[in-house]
Amino acid sequence: MNTKLGTLYGLSLGPGDSDLMTRRAWQLLSGAGHWTYPVRKKNGDSYALAIALRAGFVLPENHTPLHFPMTYNSGILARYWLEAAQTVLSRLQQGEDVLFLVEGDASTYSTFGHLQRSVLALEPTVPIEIIAGVSSYHAATARCGESLADVDDTVAIVPAGYGIDQIERLLLDFDTLVLLKVKPLLDDIIDLLRRLGLLEHSFFIEKSGAPEERIVSDVASLYGQKVNYLSLLIVKNPNRPRSEIQRGCRKKKEAVDD
Ligand SMILES: C[S@@+](CC[C@H](N)C(=O)[O-])C[C@H]1O[C@@H](n2cnc3c(N)ncnc32)[C@H](O)[C@@H]1O
């Protein structure tokens, strides 16, 4: 008899504070699923795993770190994704559920996307469930006492690696710009924000929700400093020119026009 395939869960754990974990995540961590989590180096730390352990969970015996190296070499990455997918699939084929622990939200710039695609490429019938979570930038705006968007505000969430010209262009269209992965470009971004007069409307947050969390509202003071990979910038753009916005639903407008 064929064993029923287990389910692969993209298990969002929130940004770092166990109080920001959902009840569903808590429930799954308390169950019998096999824990997997991303590591950058063999035997390296996992931020996602640390969130679960900080919440008081004990690392179960059945757990497997999955190695995803920090490289942009697509050939190397494809090899590691395939290896991770094969490891996960062999568990699923034995009928085990597999939890892939993710920092923040699993559908937002997460390694889970790669894992999901790689597993489905090997076995398209694998059941997948993504458990939504609090993203780093939702937690960050809350911690900074800011709103992500008000009324008709426009918001963009982008990896800073698109570069300074692109960031400047986005600021023409968005009231709030969330810049992820700012570490390599931080000084250049600070120069840009100074030139545009937006430094005083910007916030930096590192390891939001973790005990080492750092919130910096004097963003210029970070110039020349090394920051952690887990850091982001929220830029509010109060001077953005607004265009007309259509209010109400179409039907009502047509009725008035008639
Ligand atoms: C690969 S993305 C992961 C995003 C994550 N899935 C989320 O929902 O927030 C990594 C980037 O997200 C941001 N990030 C993730 N966790 C963070 C945290 N706890 N504090 C600040 N920034 C974080 C950083 O910009 C980091 O470079």
Rounded to the nearest integer, the mean pLDDT of the chain is 93
| Rounded Cα distance, 166 and 158, in Å | 10
Which residue's CA is minimally distant from atom 14 of ligand 1? 230
Q: What is the pLDDT of residues 227-253, one digit of tens each?
A: 999 999 999 999 888 878 887 765 655
Q: Which domains does the chain have, with CATH numbers?
A: 8-134 (3.40.1010.10), 137-236 (3.30.950.10)
> Looking at 90-99, 109-118, 241-250, which range is the least confident one?
241-250
Instruction: Find residue 202's DSSP bridge partners.
Output: 235
Pocket test for ligand 1, best of 54, 112, 157, 180 (most atoms within 8 A of CB): 180
Task: Tell me the pairing of strands 98-102 and 34-39.
Answer: parallel
Q: Whose CA is nearest to atom 5 of ligand 1?
A: 104
- Mean pLDDT score, 44-73: 92
